[in-house]
A = this chain, B = another copy of it.
Amino acid sequence: MNKPKYHIFVCTSSRINGQQKGFCHSKNSVGLVESFMEEVQDKGLGGEVFITNTGCFGICEKGPIVVVYPDNVWYGSVSEDDIEEIMEQHIEGGKVVERLLI
């Protein structure tokens, strides 16, 4: 299969009991997923950058949480305003966005 160069995971507070409820979800994390997907499409990166929503990472107080693999880079308190910077500086430029690290 075609593996991603970068895989961005966004907590949407999706519980395994089927509920979607939690801090990240209450802070627009579904909007973050959609915006990341739009950015990936706009930049033509669909084949190499995957976006996936997740359940809780257990550090809710630092949410919304975004994790970038294979880098194992963890971002916190991510908002829509941060997405372009993450995409351009980290995903396209290879340089971690230090100010968002947790």
A22 to chain B, nearest CB (A): 12
Q: Mark A51-66, 1 if CB is under 8 A from B, else 0.
A: 0111111010010000
Query: Could you tell me if B1 and A16 are in contact, using CB atoms closer than 8 angstroms?
Result: no
Stoichiometry (number of copies)? 2
Among A70-78, A79-87, A90-98, the one that faces the other chain is: A70-78
Nearest residue, chain B, Cβ from A19: B18
B residues within 8 A CB of A14?
Answer: 12, 14-16, 18, 20, 53-55
Query: Could you tell me if B34 and A16 are in contact, using CB atoms closer than 8 angstroms?
Result: yes
Q: Which residues of A approach B to under 8 Å, CB–CB?
A: 1, 3-4, 7, 9, 12, 14-16, 18-20, 30, 33-34, 50, 52-57, 59, 62, 67, 69-72, 74, 102
Q: Give 9 nearest A-B pairs by CB, closest first.
A: A14-B14, A69-B69, A70-B70, A18-B20, A53-B55, A54-B54, A16-B30, A52-B54, A16-B53
